[in-house]
Structure 1
Amino acid sequence: MRTPRALVARGTGPAVRDAALWAALAGAGVFAYRERVAEASPVLGLVLPLSILAVAVPGSRKRPGAAVFLANAVCALGLAEPAETASPYLAALAVLTYLLGVRSARTGAALLLFGACTAVDLALCALLGVGPVYWFYTVSMIPSALLLPWLAGRYRQARLALVRGGWERARGLEQRQRFVAEQARLRERTRIAADMHDSLGHELSLIALRAGALELSPTLSGQDRADLAVLRAAVSDAVGHLRDTIGVVRDGSDGPGGSGGYGPHGDPTASSVEPVEELVARARESGVTVDLRREGQAGALSPLVDRTAYRVVQESLTNAIKHAPGAAVRVRIVHQGARTEVRVANSAPSAGPSPVPVPAPAGAPASGHRGLTGLRERVRLIGGTLHAAPRRGGFEVLATLPDQVAPRRPGTAEELLEETGTGSESGRRLAAARRSTRRRFAVAVAAPAGLGLLLLGSAAYLAHQLTACVLRPADFAALRTGQERTELAPLLPDRDFRYVPDAVKALPAPPGTVCAYYRSSGSLLDQADVYRLCYSGSRLTAKDVLPSRPLTTSGDEA
């Protein structure tokens, strides 16, 4: 249970961070205002921007786009403030745009927002008739503060998504590992159940066979025969109960290895079973006619192959005892090349009375037919094949086994893809996140290059605008009032200065004249005086030297 103090700390965390961010962004505005406090408006330069930022910063958590628009409005206030060229709140716009890139994944909406902000700024410039420096600020600095931080925020968002995707993938792998472990436990339980079915069922069948043989002995009394009959029936019932129990266990846990078999990487101790010769000898002692022959030289058999061959013979003998009592059984084991062939065939059952009750036919629903199904799966897992079918009135089981088990069993392509992550849903999502991250990184590199070219173009255009309207001081001194325009044309620049500050334009001019303005210097960094030439018709009437920021009205008429 969380303490009240922890709840308070958790609830006020975002508010404290927003307050700290607002204080940092407002500090730049306060510092800039102190530098120009004598000529700046306190409402436009301080009160209104800080109030708007106080709303925009916390609002960026739920409405990051609206917060960016408000920050752009704060920067646009600098266009209406004649005491400054660039807004000190440009950093606030950049920070909120970065947060937009981190908190919002809507690319189209962000680009529309940037277009709207730029359109509003350009319309305000046209409405106020600002100078070229303000136009340069509007078409270069504000778009840079909008686009570049947003790209950085998107890259950060992609990185965070990639990290989150990696942790989700790791969590999924952990869950899959637990699932695989659980499946391994279930497969082991099923394997044990299959071994019980194969081994114990075989032994019980032999016991029932011996009891049936003793029941026919002439030296026994009637009571002994009755007891043996009861014993034989009890053993037969036990075999049925065992089959039913194994069926319940295996029905709930069959899987790729659910037949009770081993995979190609099974327990190496699985070969610790008796030789096939001993198995056949015990069957003979129980009264079963069995003929065993080996052909060829046995190579170095894998323990799993040796155990599988034993299981093929054991299951075949058990089926012959159950389904064909009294039949002769032939076992052939042939070693040839790198493979071993195990063939077990029994003849038709004898026509005489059977000492052992004959179970339901093979394949009938009552018997479940579990033995051959598990045996076929066991053989398949080590890369072999098994065929079982009636033959010449009897039944034949043929298994072809490799002497050595391959490192991978056939049919594991999908499992391999799932293990490596290739083709899985998590792998595809991770690859998509990586592609998105690389694409955003490329955009984050290309966008600054494009904006750099834009800035260079804007600076070149601004320089052309400010240098093409320069009237050299010597040429200005050579001008005389009363001269015609055609006489003055060789001394005048190609164009006049169109971005004259309003304060300069407001200075009084001779009545009835039309004035043209020129810059006195081509320097882009220094403030240059303005030359004013006033014409009455086509004749020069007056010429004046006006400071770019006049404190008093001055005029000069020659």
Structure 2
Amino acid sequence: MRSVPGRLSRLFDLGLWLVVCAPPVTAAVSPHGREVMTAAVGVPLLGTAVALSRRWPLSALAVPVALSLTLDAQMSTPLYWTALVLFGYLAGRRMATARPALWFFAAVAVAGLPLCALVLHDLWGWPIQLLTLLLTVGLPWLLGRYRRQYAELVGTGWRLADRLEREQQAVADRARIRERARIAGDMHDSLGHDLTLIAVRAGALELDPKLDARQQAAIGELREAAGAATERLREIIGVLRTDDEQPPRVPSAENAEALVERVRSSGVTVTLERLGDTDDLPPMVGLAVHRVLQEALTNAAKHAPGTAVHVRLVRDGAILGLSVVNDPATVAPLPGVASGGSGLVGLDERVRLAGGTLRTGSTPEGGFEVVAELPLGGGATPRTATATRPTASVRELAHARRQVRRRLTQTVVVPLAVLAGILLLMIPISFISSSFSVLDRDRYEQLKVGDARGDMRSRLPAFTKDGPPDGAPPTPKGEDCVYYNTRTASADAYRLCFAHERLASKAIVRPCSFCVHVRSARGATPETARRR
């Protein structure tokens, strides 16, 4: 069973075929044989164009263009204007890219010049052809392109709305997961510090000569277990952390002296120097100081065991400076103590959130230092991190909007530019047409009434004058009159009138302000027709 969209598309194609075939079929009702032949050829070809219009819209557009050029090189016949408009619109609506259509239009425009010159023997037919092509094909095609871009914008909006709705449904779950990750990060910071101190104490007891071999082995196992527990904790927390995780903002209740004393009791030599009032600190600064000091002391115990660590906390006006420097390491790090390598990155983020700066690196003496500077002013603003890039949805919507604005501009500007180009093109065409439509006076005198038109073609110019001059007498009934210039850029013209493909009369038309003098081959004296 056929789907509803499939049936609707076939009904649409059938209606399109009936509409585009209506003008040639209507013309075929007339008694002239040419219109009957036109309908007999055009109706099946237009049916083929309708069949091709969905998959190959540009090929479908080429069918009425070819039919229109076959009937009239100027494309001025109205039999296929309806087909040109509709297939031009459908080509713009259904084509994904515009470049093939532009090449097609350019090819038709370029081919129109030799076609008008060879078939019509009149260069003025080319601007008429270009203007017809612009109005019947170019404008509908631009309108179809604009409608396509507008539909894409609407579709993009609906996709973004659907994506936003689905993302909102997951907001609660993501918030819970993020909060769990923050809690896990705090567990890593605090428990990792404690486990590291346990491993350091166990390492110091393992080397105590007062213990026997069994006790030392048990303490060694305790040290290795603490190191393994730290490694497992780091791996688990590393999986739970997210890229946009923010550190907790609740300050620790443990001050610097308590933290230093706890580390010192584990066997690490730590000295603390305070300068200025460093007790009453803002919550964010106090949290950052505690976190930097905790991580720096933990790293010193891990990577430089047995060395002295110097802590300096200085308040200078509205700036609090913290430096943690350890002496050069004399022994290798204790075995079994793991390092995640991301502690300093976390410290930099914590200090940034407090509005400060962090600097880490080796000292000239061979040790390692961690230096932080934190502002003490109320409401410290975090330093700007890497600029947030627009999301894919925002970029997609902005791109669609730019495309629609550009297509709307093209719909207005391109026809005006083409029209201006056609008007400018008339200047050289006027000069060329005037130059190649000059009939020599001697040849004019040699033309005799009654000569066959076919025999006269070799003696006539390649092109005719652009229409009759001002004040020319009306064309006699049943005759076909053409005009030739007497010389380049001259207002005078030769008029040759044919009846039944034979020269019926010839005359010289000279327009003036009040009259037109006509010298006719039918009489011996000039005939003067006064203009009222």
Q: Same fold (TM over 0.5)?
A: yes
**Contact 1:114–1:146 (CA under 8 A) maintained in structure 2:** no
* Cα offset, 1:337, TM superposition: 2.6
1:9-408 to 2 correspondence within 5 Å? 9-31=4-26, 37-39=30-32, 41=34, 43-76=36-69, 78-79=71-72, 86-102=77-93, 103=95, 105=98, 106-115=100-109, 118-119=112-113, 122=116, 126=120, 138=129, 140-142=131-133, 144-159=135-150, 194-207=185-198, 232-249=219-236, 263=246, 266-268=247-249, 270-283=250-263, 291-298=271-278, 301-319=281-299, 330-345=310-325, 360-361=332-333, 367-368=338-339, 370=341, 373-374=344-345, 376-378=347-349, 381-382=352-353, 383-387=356-360, 389=362, 397-403=370-376, 407=381
1:495-514 to 2 correspondence within 5 Å? 495=493, 497-498=495-496, 505-506=499-500
* Cα offset, 1:18, TM superposition: 1.7
User: Quick one: which amino acid aligns to residue 505 of structure 1?
Assistant: A
Work out the CA distance in 1 between the residues paired with 2:10 and 2:342.
70
Q: 1:124 to 1:152 in 2, by over 3 A?
A: farther
TM-score, scaled to structure 1: 0.61
Work out the CA distance in 1 between the residues paired with 2:199 and 2:146.
77
Q: 1:94 to 1:386 in 2, by over 3 A?
A: same
Work out the CA distance in 2 between the residues paired with 1:135 and 1:198.
82
* Cα offset, 1:115, TM superposition: 2.1
**Contact 1:381–1:409 (CA under 8 A) maintained in structure 2:** yes
- Computing the radius of gyration from Cα coordinates, the structure with the larger value is 1
Q: 1:398 to 1:497 in 2, by over 3 A?
A: same
SS in 2 for 1:88: helix
Work out the CA distance in 1 between the residues paired with 2:236 and 2:203.
30
| Structure 2: stretches of 5+ with no match in the other structure | 434-463, 477-490, 510-517, 528-532
TM-score, scaled to structure 2: 0.64
Q: How many equivalent residue pairs?
A: 464
**Contact 2:88–2:141 (CA under 8 A) maintained in structure 1:** yes
| Structure 1: stretches of 5+ with no match in the other structure | 352-357, 477-492, 520-530, 544-558
User: Quick one: which amino acid aligns to residue 245 of structure 1?
Assistant: R
Bigger mean CA offset, 196-205 vs 397-406: 397-406
* Cα offset, 1:211, TM superposition: 7.2
Work out the CA distance in 1 between the residues paired with 2:135 and 2:203.
99
Choose which of 378, 383, 405 in structure 2 pairs with 1:409. Answer: 383
Taking every aligned residue pair, what percent have the same amino acid on both sides?
30
Work out the CA distance in 2 between the residues paired with 1:136 and 1:284.
96
Work out the CA distance in 2 between the residues paired with 1:505 and 1:532.
19
1:454-533 to 2 correspondence within 5 Å? 465-466=467-468, 468=470, 470-471=472-473, 494-495=492-493, 497-498=495-496, 505-506=499-500, 515-516=505-506
Work out the CA distance in 2 between the residues paired with 1:140 and 1:289.
93
Work out the CA distance in 1 between the residues paired with 2:275 and 2:80.
95
CA distances 1:501-542 after superposition (whole Å, capped 9, x unpaired):
xxx7129x9xxx8623799xxxxxxxxxxx99654xx8489x
* Cα offset, 1:309, TM superposition: 0.9
Work out the CA distance in 2 between the residues paired with 1:385 and 1:289.
24
Work out the CA distance in 1 between the residues paired with 2:352 and 2:106.
61
2:515 maps to what in 1?
Answer: none
CA distances 1:436-458 after superposition (whole Å, capped 9, x unpaired):
53662453351464388589999
User: Quick one: which amino acid aligns to residue 471 of structure 1?
Assistant: P
Work out the CA distance in 1 between the residues paired with 2:414 and 2:468.
33
CA distances 1:180-228 after superposition (whole Å, capped 9, x unpaired):
99999998777655543432233335556777999999xx9x9xx8897
User: Quick one: which amino acid aligns to residue 506 of structure 1?
Assistant: H
Q: 1:235 to 1:175 in 2, by over 3 A?
A: farther
SS in 2 for 1:112: helix
CA distances 1:229-280 after superposition (whole Å, capped 9, x unpaired):
56643441232113322454577688867xxxx65xx443x32443333334
CA distances 1:390-431 after superposition (whole Å, capped 9, x unpaired):
68797654333333686453551xx43x23789x98699669
Work out the CA distance in 2 between the residues paired with 1:365 and 1:232.
13
**Contact 1:78–1:87 (CA under 8 A) maintained in structure 2:** no
**Contact 2:199–2:337 (CA under 8 A) maintained in structure 1:** no
Q: 1:281 to 1:466 in 2, by over 3 A?
A: same
CA distances 1:339-387 after superposition (whole Å, capped 9, x unpaired):
21123456789x9xxxxxx9x428x997437475355534564441233
Work out the CA distance in 1 between the residues paired with 2:418 and 2:162.
38
* Cα offset, 1:13, TM superposition: 4.3
Q: 1:336 to 1:205 in 2, by over 3 A?
A: same
**Contact 1:208–1:232 (CA under 8 A) maintained in structure 2:** no
RMSD, aligned α-carbons = 5.8
Work out the CA distance in 2 between the residues paired with 1:121 and 1:151.
26
